[in-house]
């Protein structure tokens, strides 16, 4: 018997079997991809499992298995599949990055960083691991490290608008808003429809107090007409929103704001006919936001007096007589806040002079102006265009 010939025949037969199994594995793999594309994720996962069993070194089967498991919400199974794939071939940079993204979803940031470093080692020319790591570092508030990661991304992909967006976000997070604007404008030059870049640019302008530029970014986002852009519009509008006084609850107020310059006697003839009389009044203001109770109830955050600017008119026709000044305090006695109504009730006293009929106190209730200088529940300062109220304007100004 020719031993050499028999050995060759045996190996030939084994190779033939392997070729057959490999061919079947690839056919099953192709079938699984079709099922995955149709959204039949369980069936696809079963096909990929069969493909890997037929050909245990088929990295494609494990990688597709991971994708199916991600669709099914089985991150642990997806991690297992990617890990098996990488045991066979560690040079798959994209697979390392995909694995890192799962770890990020699982908030396992240490393993995510390991995978991203492995991805960079597998392909030093790929910008994706650095970009992904930049966002990972942003999530962990490691802003200067994120900046470095995005700069590395730009070195590898200088025409990628996403890289400049990431760098802009990192600079914004460090309070370097002017620098961020430069990078974000570059991002939009390269990627004109980047909703995240428009949003981050709006954040930078808001931090610099440029409301006109913020409005420009809001308009640009609205023009994109996407769900993501609409969400960012809401974020920016909320970012620049400031609380305002929106009116007075007349039913809960005891102070009448309709009289022009007049004696105190018109408010209460009985009380103010007495020399040196004092009476407490109240006025209830409604806000458009949930307010900070401590801020609202702090009487030093309120001022009572003449209006400022033209919207509130002229107190006492611009005369502001000594008898006006003696009639009211410039600060409330107390303030209460009703969070269910978003309303503040300001209690203040009016004072009569010692000579109520000849030189008694006078007041212009229509122009007596109430100003709030506090904050809402989120810490935002009251809007200067809606922090004062009087009866003449009949609205906040």
Give the residues across from 261 on adjacent strands: 364
For helices 93-105 and 128-139, what crossing angle results, to 10°? 10
Give the residues across from 222 on adjacent strands: none
Q: Comparing C-alpha atoms, which of 68, 124, 125 is closest to residue 98?
A: 68
Angle at 263 between CA 320 and CA 330, to 5 degrees: 50
Query: What pLDDT digit, counting tens, does each position of 98-127 carry?
Result: 999 999 999 999 999 999 999 999 999 999
- Helix boundaries (H) for 174-304: 177-190, 195-207, 211-224, 227-240, 293-297
Q: Which two tokens stand for residue 259?
A: 């009289």
* pLDDT at position 5: 54
DSSP-assigned letter for residue 292: P
* pLDDT at position 10: 40
Task: Compute the half-sphere exposure of residue 310: CA atoms within 13 Å on the CB side of its CA.
Answer: 0
Q: Which two tokens stand for residue 317?
A: 């026709």
- Collapsing DSSP to helix, strand or coil, 301 comes out as helix
Measure CA of the first residue to CA of the last residue in the chain; give whole Å.
109
Is the full-model pTM beyond 0.85?
Answer: no
Q: Comparing C-alpha atoms, which of 330, 333, 327 is closest to residue 346?
A: 333
* pLDDT at position 14: 38
pLDDT, averaged per 10 consecutive residues of the chain (397 residues), comes to: 46 47 86 94 95 93 96 97 97 98 97 98 98 98 98 98 98 98 98 98 96 96 98 96 96 95 94 95 98 98 93 92 86 97 97 88 96 96 96 95
Q: Comparing C-alpha atoms, which of 269, 386, 264 is closest to residue 328?
A: 264
Backbone angles phi, psi at 267, to 5 degrees: -80, -35
Average pLDDT score, the chain: 93
The three state secondary structure string of 353-383 is CCCCCCCCCEEECCCCEEEECCEECCCCECC
* pLDDT at position 19: 62
Q: Comparing C-alpha atoms, which of 124, 148, 154 is closest to residue 136?
A: 148
Query: What pLDDT digit, counting tens, does each position of 346-355 carry?
Result: 999 999 998 8
Q: Which two tokens stand for residue 236?
A: 């920016």
Q: Comparing C-alpha atoms, which of 303, 322, 320 is closest to residue 364?
A: 320
Q: Comparing C-alpha atoms, which of 107, 48, 100, 104 is closest to residue 72?
A: 48
CA 362 – CA 316 distance, rounded (Å)? 9
- Helix boundaries (H) for the chain: 3-37, 41-54, 59-71, 75-88, 93-105, 109-122, 128-139, 143-156, 161-173, 177-190, 195-207, 211-224, 227-240, 293-297, 322-325
CA 104 – CA 158 distance, rounded (Å)? 26
Strand 395-396 vs strand 302-305: parallel, antiparallel, or unpaired? unpaired
* pLDDT at position 356: 86
* pLDDT at position 329: 85
């Amino acid at each position: 018997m020719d031993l050499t010939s028999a050995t060759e025949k045996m190996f030939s037969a084994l190779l033939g079997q392997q070729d057959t199994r490999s061919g079947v594995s690839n056919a099953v793999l192709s079938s699984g991809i079709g099922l995955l594309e149709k959204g039949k994720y369980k069936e696809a996962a079963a096909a990929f499992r069969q493909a890997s069993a037929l050909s245990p070194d088929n990295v494609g089967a494990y990688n597709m298995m991971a994708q199916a498991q991600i669709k099914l919400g089985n991150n642990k199974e997806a991690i297992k599949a990617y890990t098996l794939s990488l045991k066979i071939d560690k040079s798959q940079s994209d697979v390392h990055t995909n694995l890192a993204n799962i770890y990020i979803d699982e908030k396992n940031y240490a393993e995510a960083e390991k995978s991203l470093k492995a991805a960079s080692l597998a392909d030093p020319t790929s910008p994706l691991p650095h970009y992904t790591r930049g966002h990972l570092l942003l999530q962990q508030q490691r802003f200067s490290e994120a900046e470095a990661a995005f700069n590395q991304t730009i070195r590898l992909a200088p025409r990628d608008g996403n890289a400049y967006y990431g760098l802009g976000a990192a600079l914004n997070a460090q309070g370097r808003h002017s620098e961020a604007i430069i990078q974000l404008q570059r991002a939009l030059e390269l990627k004109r429809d980047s909703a995240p870049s428009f949003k981050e640019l709006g954040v930078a302008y808001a931090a610099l107090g440029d409301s006109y530029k913020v409005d420009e970014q809001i308009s640009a986002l609205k023009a994109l007409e996407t769900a993501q852009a609409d969400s960012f519009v809401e974020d920016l509008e909320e970012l620049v929103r400031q609380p305002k006084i929106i009116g007075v609850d007349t039913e809960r107020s005891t102070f009448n704001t309709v009289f022009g310059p007049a004696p105190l006697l018109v408010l209460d003839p009985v009380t103010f006919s007495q020399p040196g009389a004092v009476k407490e009044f109240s006025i209830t203001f409604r806000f458009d936001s949930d307010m900070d109770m401590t801020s609202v109830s702090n009487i030093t955050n309120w001022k009572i007096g003449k209006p400022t600017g033209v919207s509130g008119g002229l107190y006492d026709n611009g005369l502001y007589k000594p008898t006006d000044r003696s009639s009211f305090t410039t600060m409330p006695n107390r303030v209460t806040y009703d969070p269910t109504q978003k309303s503040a009730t300001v209690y203040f006293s009016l004072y009569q002079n010692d000579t109520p009929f000849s030189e008694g106190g006078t007041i212009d209730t229509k122009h007596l102006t109430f100003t709030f200088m506090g904050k809402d529940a989120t810490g935002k300062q009251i809007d200067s265009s809606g922090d004062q109220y009087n009866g003449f304007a009949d609205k906040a100004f």
